[in-house]
Structure 1
Amino acid sequence: MTFVVDSLLTETPEGPALLGSRCTECSAHTFPRQGGCPRCTGTAMEDVPLARTGTLWTWTVQGFRPKPPYTGTPAYEPYGVGYVELADQLLVEARLTESEPDRLWIGMPMEIVISPFRDAADDGGPTHTFAFAPVTGADR
C-alpha cells in the first residue's frame, strides 16, 4: 500500500496509529515527529505510536477544491476536516471520513482509519493517507 508519507504511520497490534514524538523530559507529545520539544525546548525525543481513538474537538466541511498544489482525486467532493483530541496527548488536524454536518458533533468519538487520497501512485496503485472516522454506534 502506498502512502502520502510513509513515516506518518506505524502498525500496532490494534491496527494503524499515527507516529509521533514524546519528550522524555516533560512528556509533551508532538505530531508529526520532531527532534525538539516545543514545550520545554528539550532535545530528548522518542518515537511513540499515538492513541488510535479520540474525540472530535472541532470540525468544518471543505466545500471547495483546495488551491494548488492540491493533488487529490480529480473528481473533487467536499470532505470533513477537524481537530481530534487524543486524550492525554495532543490535538491532531486531520481529514474526516464523514462530511455530512448533521452527522458530526463536537465531542464525537473518533478512530483512525486508512483512507484513499488519490487514484494512482507512481506504481499505478492508489495513494492512501490517514483520516478519522466516527466510532461505530456513537451517540450524542
Structure 2
Amino acid sequence: MTTTVAVADGIFEIRDGKPVLLGTRCTNCDNHMYPRQTGCPRCLFNEQEDVELATEGTLWTWTVQAFPPKAPPYLGPVGDDFVPYGVGYVELAGQLRVEGRLTISDPEQLKIGMPMELVLDPLSLDEDGNQVVTYAFAPVEATTQNGDQS
C-alpha cells in the first residue's frame, strides 16, 4: 500500500486526503503570513498565532513553468520526462496571496479572477515507495460553483 507524504514538513498537512496550508497571523495587525513566520513583516510585532489558511480563493496571476527547476531541490520529472506546469498566485480572501503550482498549464483554461481550490499534486515516489505530494490550486468546477451535481 502506497503512503502519501508531504514534500516538506511545516508548510502544509494532509487531512482526510486534502491539504491544509499552515500559516501565521499577527496578533497586533492581523497580517497573515505563509509559510509560518515568527515576526510580522508589516508591523514588526513578534507575537504570531498559527492559523489554517483558506482552501479556496481566486487566481490573481499566473505563468507556465516551461523548464525544470534546479534539482535538487526539485523532485519532479526532469529531462525528456519534464512536463510544463502552471504556477500562480491565488488570493485567499481576507488573508493573503499564496504562490503555488496549478493543476493545469493551458493558457486557454486559465483566467485571472477564476475561482480556485486547494488540492494535492503528486510529485514523485521516495526511496520507500511513498507518493510524495505538494499542494496545488485547481479551478473550481462549474458544477461545484452552481451547486449542480448532475
TM-score, normalised to structure 1, is 0.90
When the two chains are superposed, the root-mean-square deviation of aligned CA atoms in Å is 1.8
Match of 2:89 among 76, 83, 98: 83
- The residue that corresponds to 2:46 in the other structure is 43
Residue by residue over 1:7-41, the C-alpha shift from the partner in whole angstroms, topping out at 9 and shown as x without a partner, is 1124678x532110000111000000001111110
Kindly state the Cα deviation for residue 68 of structure 1 after the two structures are TM-superposed. 3.1
Alpha-carbon distance in 2 for matches of 1:65, 1:73: 8
> Between the two proteins, what is the percent identity of the paired residues?
55
Runs of 4+ aligned structure 1 residues displaced above 3 Å come to 10-13
Go from structure 1 to structure 2 and tell me whether the alpha carbon gap of 1:124 and 1:11 turns closer, same or farther (over 3 Å shift). Answer: closer
List gaps (5 residues or longer) in structure 2: none
Alpha-carbon distance in 2 for matches of 1:20, 1:113: 17
Match of 1:127 among 132, 135, 139: 132
Residue by residue over 1:96-140, the C-alpha shift from the partner in whole angstroms, topping out at 9 and shown as x without a partner, is 00111100000010000011012x11321220000000001169x
- The residue that corresponds to 1:104 in the other structure is 110
Kindly state the Cα deviation for residue 6 of structure 1 after the two structures are TM-superposed. 2.8
* AA of the residue aligned to 1:126: Q
* AA of the residue aligned to 1:23: C
List gaps (5 residues or longer) in structure 1: none
Kindly state the Cα deviation for residue 4 of structure 1 after the two structures are TM-superposed. 0.8
Verify the 8 A CA contact 2:116 2:137 in the aligned structure 1.
yes
Kindly state the Cα deviation for residue 71 of structure 1 after the two structures are TM-superposed. 2.3
Is 1:61 paired with 2:64? Answer: yes
Structure with higher Rg: it is 2
Residue by residue over 1:65-91, the C-alpha shift from the partner in whole angstroms, topping out at 9 and shown as x without a partner, is 223322212421010001000111111
Verify the 8 A CA contact 1:64 1:78 in the aligned structure 2.
yes
Paired positions, count: 137
- The residue that corresponds to 1:72 in the other structure is 76
Verify the 8 A CA contact 1:10 1:49 in the aligned structure 2.
no
